[in-house]
Structure 1
């Protein structure tokens, strides 16, 4: 089949399509990326940055003459609307789970004529997940884990994060909230709920700013939390866990498991 059947000029409004296309060796198709892209590092040097997350330089995108723009979630609905009105083809993915990320890799690969490479890449991710899951199952103890996505207000981890915590060997203390796709539905109205949940490990990943363990430990009443008493209040860098793409399945999962295994070893 002619390569002309597949998109030749792609703008990626978030990091995960950029990371996938580079991993598949299809980065030559990308003509613009998100300013929040950090993976792979070379993308920031090679591709023009034309969007944030909830805003984009529509005029700059149109100058690039894209034949496909890829975004993520309802948060980018307004950008998608403006581009569609301008005659641009747009694909907005809305996956929120580990299985969804794997399906996303396969789907994106098929869209650019790299289905076989995408299948191999997805299978590599699945093997990594299986290896971590097996190692986690062998741990002598499994800690109760609180994952904090934001601090003001307190927002718990989204679905793929909670799933990765469980795969890594932890027990998510707020499983009901993790099933909510919107952040506003994962807000903890009362910080005392975390105290009552008594997590043994606290992971923090504040999107857009550095996690401050000392601020977490200083919250009223939180000195009673086991994780605070033992110093197991740890940062997971947001680029490797809060993007629903390969980074979460590889580096994010490995980092979660490394900390959980160290806790279990003690």
Structure 2
């Protein structure tokens, strides 16, 4: 049932299909894929995020390609012109991720398995929120997707921060679907909102807490003063798929719970 030869232009469909036991359908993956590790080892890498090896993809004779967001619109258009059916998902929230998994499961005839995964993740989300409620203390969190220019966290990240027990300091920007809508012109608003935790997840680049601490004016921030400058690796949190709802959420909870434990009694 459904497509038999799938190109995954981003990581989240790859990880989802492996979790559903349908990895044999995958004939090509994104070069940025790190989850699961066997996918990176076993599957041909045919794309980056904004570019793809179209000839290589066509050589693999896919009957379907799955990508994410407007950023992959040009890749999608070229594949469509080449006769390949394409699904570009555009989910930006936790509920959107859950719905995406259900839709992908239905597409490959594994709807019930997808439902079980989603039910399990809902229980994880609820349990995490319950532990946060017991802690009570909710730090102000600045999540930074990129450093130059400063880009704050996308919607599903802000939602996961809240579930894990923190409050994203830019909820109004999290609602912006495109990265350009979350660019901060300068640091004044960050300084004004006085984050108690700074989390960096610079896609493709190592987070440098010493560079963050040295930014002009940042010495007055509670997060800098208390040494609460942390990294969550981008593959765990910036892919709108299973990783964010599992290991990504766990990483956020660990940081926020650790912060709460270090507060004066």
TM-score by structure 2 length?
0.98
2:9 paired residue among 6, 13, 26: 13
Encode CA deviations 1:108-157: one digit per residue, 9 max, x unaligned.
Answer: 00000000101101111111111101011111311000000000000000
1:56 paired residue among 47, 52, 77: 52
The answer to whether residue 87 in structure 2 is matched with residue 95 in structure 1 is no
Partner of 1:204: 200
Partner of 2:157: 161
Q: How many angstroms does 1:190 deviate by?
A: 1.5
Q: How many angstroms does 1:193 deviate by?
A: 1.3
Partner of 2:146: 150
The answer to whether residue 233 in structure 2 is matched with residue 245 in structure 1 is no
The answer to whether residue 191 in structure 2 is matched with residue 195 in structure 1 is yes
- Structure 2: which 5+ runs fail to align? none
Partner of 2:225: 229
Query: Residues of 2 paired with 1:137 and 1:107: CA distance?
Result: 32
Partner of 2:23: 27
SS across alignment from 1:50:
strand
Partner of 2:43: 47
Partner of 2:257: 261
Encode CA deviations 1:203-258: one digit per residue, 9 max, x unaligned.
Answer: 00000100001100000010000000000000000000000000000011111011
Query: Residues of 1 paired with 2:249 and 2:69: CA distance?
Result: 22
- Structure 1: which 5+ runs fail to align? none
Superposed CA RMSD in Å reads 0.6
Partner of 2:182: 186
Query: Residues of 2 paired with 1:42 and 1:241: CA distance?
Result: 20
The answer to whether residue 74 in structure 2 is matched with residue 74 in structure 1 is no
1:136 paired residue among 129, 132, 136: 132
TM-score by structure 1 length?
0.98
Q: How many angstroms does 1:265 deviate by?
A: 1.3
Query: Residues of 2 paired with 1:136 and 1:146: CA distance?
Result: 18
Query: Residues of 2 paired with 1:190 and 1:71: CA distance?
Result: 32
Query: Residues of 2 paired with 1:12 and 1:250: CA distance?
Result: 20
Q: How many angstroms does 1:192 deviate by?
A: 1.9
